[in-house]
A = this chain, B = another copy of it.
Amino acid sequence: MPKRPAARAPKNGGDTDEKIRARNIREILKAATEIFSRKGFDGARIAEIAEASGLPKANVYYYFSSKEEIYRAVIEHLIEGWDDAFAHISVDREPQDAIRSYIAAKLTYTRRNIIESRLFANEIIRGAQFLSRKDRQHMRTVTDEKVRVIEDWIAAGKLLPVDPRHLFIMLWSATQFYADFEPLACDALHTSKLKGIDYSHAAETISETVLRGLLPTGRT
């Protein structure tokens, strides 16, 4: 008889058939992401997470010792998507292409992962309490690196002077917006006659407007 697994990882030395554990945890995290995203931390009930992942509640607690631990695990996982889009910003590219790619990538990611994006944004609004020191540090490092790229471009005369951090804020907030606020936007910004604004051009609109203001060589 096992004496209280303590809702923790088994000291399963080798990787002997990690299938059950892996699948269940994946299932729980997937359900949790969706529900935390819709309801927020306090609004989410673990009974609901359990049901959505097809496991009885007690089984969820077999893998996670608390609601907070589940939330933390979810958030941890989200960070991974953070820097993918940022990869497009690299010195060896022309700023025009790079920024355009960045915007497109960010928008695509955001759209394809609305749930995660929203949850991430929400967590950050709440003060990023659950982000580990390591994750915060990581975000800082990546950002700093990209700031330097922008500064290099400016120094090389490829870009008009602009505060790189403010630029990132503009780009990030604009792309994020389309995921977070699309429901509102659809409702509040639509004309009743004009059946809606064209979201498919969001990337282009942002790109063009920002780039027109940044490129020294006239219009794009």
Q: Are B177 and A169 in contact (CB under 8 A)?
A: yes
- What 0/1 pattern do residues 132 to 175 of A give for CB contact below 8 A with B? 00001001100110010000000000001011011111101110
Q: Which of A158-215 contact B (CB under 8 A)?
A: 160, 162-163, 165-170, 172-174, 176-178, 180-181, 183-185, 187-192, 197-198, 201-202, 205-206, 208-214
Instruction: Name the prevailing secondary structure of the A interface residues.
Output: helix
Q: Are A140 and B192 in contact (CB under 8 A)?
A: yes
Q: Are A209 and B214 in contact (CB under 8 A)?
A: yes
Number of copies: 2
A26 beta carbon closer than 8 Å to chain B: no
A42 beta carbon closer than 8 Å to chain B: yes
- Known contacts A127-B183, A169-B174, A213-B208; decide if A143 and B188 are in contact (CB<8 Å): yes
Inter-chain CA distance A180–B181, complex, in Å, is 14
Q: Are A166 and B205 in contact (CB under 8 A)?
A: yes
Q: A173: which B residues are within 8 A, CB to CB?
A: 173-174, 176-177, 181
Q: Smallest CB-CB separation from A45: which chain B residue?
A: B42
Give the segment of A1-9, A88-96, A105-113, A117-125 that binds chain B: A117-125
Q: A210: which B residues are within 8 A, CB to CB?
A: 209, 213
With both chains docked as a complex, state the minimum distance between the C-beta of A138 and any C-beta of chain B, in angstroms. 9
How many chain-A residues does the 8 Å CB contact rule pick out?
57
Inter-chain CA distance A186–B101, complex, in Å, is 26
Q: Are A140 and B183 in contact (CB under 8 A)?
A: no
Q: A162: which B residues are within 8 A, CB to CB?
A: 205, 208-209
Question: Which one of B40, B165, B167, B201 lies within 8 Å of A43 (CB-CB)?
Answer: B40
With both chains docked as a complex, state the minimum distance between the C-beta of A152 and any C-beta of chain B, in angstroms. 16
Q: A205: which B residues are within 8 A, CB to CB?
A: 162-163, 166-167, 170
Q: A128: which B residues are within 8 A, CB to CB?
A: 183-184, 187-188
